[in-house]
Amino acid sequence: MNRFASPQVLKEALLAQKYLASDELSTVVYLSLQLEKPILAEGPAGVGKTELAKVLAGAMDRELIRLQCYEGLDETKALYEWEYAKQLLYTQLLREKLSQSLSDTSSLREAADRLAREEDVFFSMRFLLQRPLLKAILSEKPVILLIDEIDRADAEFEAFLLEVLSDFQVSIPELGTLKAVNRPVVVLTSNNTRELSEALKRRCLYLYIDYPTLEQELQVIRLKVPELSPKLARQAVELVQRLRTMDLRKSPSVSETLDWAKALVALNANALDQQTLETTLSVLLKHEADLQRARQQFFSPPPKDRRSGTDAFPSAPWRN
């Protein structure tokens, strides 16, 4: 199952997909492939958890099947449901055939018993609408299964997942137990909006992905947006790192840093001057209160030191 000889080989394969992995990340992913255990990736939104599943699919040349979790998600949306409209259509088309089959019965009970023997026709794989979980289990080829933002789903759905993640099989009353043809590689992500159960965590290898350091984020920018000048890239990342130290409703994610870098390239920006920052800050911050706080921090005249008469706080980044 594991095509990678070592965590370092896996790390290089992810880098080829333009994903900068730490030694810890590549080791956890490598072990998950070796041990055939799901990965539970937790951390702030936008730090590369979902992207990890995507690049892993690319590195392993596998299809990515994604289940996006949300409040109210249930088995019918995640696993399967019967195509009742199709069953009804077939029933109408086969009405004459059914009538012929039941014509020689002498009572309603006998007709019902005979009809019941034909139930398998209407509750077969022909009428089963496969949702992401079942599709991943029954896939003829090995796949990557991404269960995204599991913390948004209800605790009941999380409990339902335990059977799937333990045995990679599901039970359908009309068909019995269906086992995985090929065991999928499973990546679960969580933004920590609620505490996940210990039972779920026991079934997974845990991986925490935090915001990158300045140098790590610079490497990501160079890898993903090489058109941005090195000087401007550093200025941009330094400002993003400063924003993350502020008390904001939502700190800028790595994906938003990348969006901002692409925006700067699209605007042919040569330097991070005040006008550029004022007009593009909303690419990084998505709440009005955060924008106001950042503008107050960066654009308001800094208070003067009473004794020296100089600025009391470090100068704004575009003035460097």
Q: How confident is the model at residue 308 (pLDDT cuts 50, 70, 90)?
A: low
CA-atom Rg of the chain in angstroms: 27
Q: Which range (16-20, 76-80, 85-89) has the least confidence? A: 85-89
Residue type, 104: D
Per-residue pLDDT, 96: 75
Please state, rounded to an integer, the average pLDDT across all residues of the chain.
88
Q: Where are the domains of the chain?
A: 7-76+134-208, 80-127, 214-299
pLDDT, one tens digit per residue, over 149-160 is 999 999 999 988
Q: Which of 126, 134, 132, 129 is nearest to 178 (CA)?
A: 134
Q: E strands within the chain?
A: 39-42, 63-68, 80-82, 128-130, 143-148, 169-172, 176-179, 185-190, 205-208
**Cα 211 to Cα 68: distance, rounded to the nearest angstrom:** 23
> Residue 74's CB: how many other CB atoms inside 10 A?
13
**What CATH code would you report for 7-76+134-208?**
3.40.50.300
Per-residue pLDDT, 301: 58
* pTM of the shown model: 0.81
